Amino acid sequence: MDWFLDRQDRASASLLRREITAFLTRHTVDQAEEIDDAALIVAELLANAYDHGQGDIWVSLQWTEARPVLEVHDMGAAFTLPREAPSAEQSRGRGLWIVSRFSSELAVAAKRAGGKVVRSVLPVVRPLELTLDLPARRVSPLPALSEARPEGGFGRESFLRALVVQLSTAIEQQQGPEAAQRAIAQVAADIGGQMEQEYRDAVAAHEAPLEPAQIAECLIRLKAAIGGTFEVVEVTEDRLVFVNSDCPFGAAVRQSPSLCRMTSSVFGGIAARNVGSSAVTLEERIAMGDPQCRVVVHLGAAAAKAERAHRYSAAP
């Protein structure tokens, strides 16, 4: 699950901390002390981003393994984590040192084209089944007034992009993020299936499963059709790697990063239908402040080893 936080709205950090804490509480059993520790980590990392970071802030919570992973992205410079408690004279570092005491893993990494991500493994363990039912976000990006045409009104692309973003947001607000993610995944699966059929007709590949190189070609073809600029940088039997410098959703995706699930579902669904199972890792995302997207599609047996990935399997 992903959120965009407005740096000018400090109150949104407190609201998000409560949302994440409530989510962790619903999905753990008899871990009150660990929940308190996790809430402290969330609060300190958000405060650090507001107090010492720069630019926009994005937050991601991934729970594909036993423990959830919290990531806080901003456009500030990376820093070195304190190895010991700061002295009373030091003006910063105390919060991060406290976080390091409670987190089973804490790391800071510079993003390739600027900015940083602080990643913490939270000290709670989920049950075997997990329902992603975080409360709804409040961001609802609409077409910018600067996109209006000289003759009046908005163009078709701006309108359709806003329609998709607003439908996703409305579902989250009315039915919760789980329903929104399921809707996005279902739409992406339907579109991906039709796009795959169009590709098969075009290359006369009607029956046999697509080879990895064909899957890559199919994915590039469908993304190019909607204005994406994806390129293939690696094709092996185990994985496909793509990069993209221009999101079809435009700048609005930075305020609605959950829309990345559309790309994940399309890519993962087509791959899984042809190799049995797949996993998609969104290593870099324009929606999280990166200058490009870097998407890795793990194929077949390699999918089981992928970390922090969306997983897909072929329908029976």
Asked whether the beta carbons of 273 and 299 are under 8 A apart, the reply is: no
Closest Cα partner for 277 from 307, 313, 241? 313
> What residues contact residue 189 under an 8 Å CB cut-off, 6+ apart?
265, 266, 269
Neighbours of 105 (CB within 10 A): 12
The tokens for 29 are 């059993």
* pLDDT of amino acid 278: 92
Asked whether the beta carbons of 102 and 37 are under 8 A apart, the reply is: yes
* pLDDT of amino acid 60: 87
The tokens for 160 are 């359709």
Coil, helix or strand at residue 108: strand
Question: What is the DSSP code string of 149-170?
Answer: -TTSS--HHHHHHHHHHHHHHH
The tokens for 198 are 């169009």
Q: pLDDT averaged over consecutive 10-residue blocks of the chain (316 residues)? A: 84 87 80 88 90 88 83 87 67 73 85 87 71 39 60 66 72 68 74 82 86 92 77 94 84 75 86 91 86 91 86 76
Nearest-angstrom CA–CA distance, 32 and 11: 25
| Chain Cα centroid distance, residue 63 | 12
Angle at 84 between CA 82 and CA 85, to 5 degrees: 95
Nearest-angstrom CA–CA distance, 148 and 155: 7
Q: Is 194 left (phi over 0), alpha (psi -120 to 50) or beta?
A: alpha
* pLDDT of amino acid 138: 41
Asked whether the beta carbons of 235 and 213 are under 8 A apart, the reply is: yes
Asked whether the beta carbons of 46 and 16 are under 8 A apart, the reply is: yes
* pLDDT of amino acid 188: 76
Neighbours of 201 (CB within 10 A): 10
Map out the domains of the chain with their CATH numbers: 2-121 (3.30.565.10), 159-313 (3.30.1380.20)
Strands lying side by side in the sheet with 310-313: 231-235, 239-244, 293-299, 277-284, 310-313
The tokens for 315 are 């329908």
244 forms beta bridges with 293
What's the burial of 311, exposed, middle or buried (CB within 10 Å: 0-12/13-18/19+)? Answer: middle
| Chain Cα centroid distance, residue 209 | 29
Nearest-angstrom CA–CA distance, 42 and 71: 9
Instruction: Give the H/E segment covering residue 62.
Output: strand 57-62
Nearest-angstrom CA–CA distance, 120 and 103: 6
58 forms beta bridges with 4, 73
* pLDDT of amino acid 186: 76
Closest Cα partner for 162 from 188, 181, 144? 144
Residue found by looking up tokens 């996703």 in the block: 168
Nearest-angstrom CA–CA distance, 20 and 16: 6
* pLDDT of amino acid 23: 81
* pLDDT of amino acid 299: 94
